[in-house]
Amino acid sequence: MTNAASPPPAQKGGSVQSSYLHHYACFRCRKSFKRASRTEAVLPCPECGGPSIGLTRKFKPPKRSDEKQWRKVEALVRHGFLFWSLNEPYPETLKEVAAFAQRHAAFIAAERAKNPEAYREIDAALSPSG
């Protein structure tokens, strides 16, 4: 039998399946950027130079025009949620965020205790003066 194997598809430099990419969300631009790894808690947004927050692969960025959804995402991140899988779906609307945060307060406290420096960067990035 001849070797019928077709050549592998050409690989672009640094191309990674999008499901393996992490999102960095910029709340000023209401945009997210993909990076191959989430080694930094906060990176400068390539668009505006402001802070963008590293979120998990679970994060699905809303449309840029969907200001309400972006406000909800920002509220979640301010509470400390970086879009890990939890035992319930993430809230659909901004007004559900407070109760959601309360239900997972212990989890968030543990995450903050584990990653104090990352959360310091995130909190600073989201502070109004910053």
Q: Which chain residues interact with Zn ion by CB under 5 A?
A: 26, 28-29, 45, 47-48, 50
Crossing angle (nearest 10°) for helices 67-79 and 116-126: 140
What is the closest distance, in whole angstroms, from the C-beta atom of residue 108 to Zn ion in the complex? 25
Q: Helix, strand or coil for residue 63?
A: coil
Nearer residue to Zn ion within complex by CB, 44 or 91: 44
Nearer residue to Zn ion within complex by CB, 49 or 116: 49
What is the closest distance, in whole angstroms, from the C-beta atom of residue 51 to Zn ion in the complex? 8
Q: CA 100 to CA 86: how far, in whole Å?
A: 11
Nearer residue to Zn ion within complex by CB, 52 or 81: 52
Q: CA 16 to CA 18: how far, in whole Å?
A: 6
What is the closest distance, in whole angstroms, from the C-beta atom of residue 80 to Zn ion in the complex? 21
User: Hey, what are 13's tokens?
Assistant: 């430099």
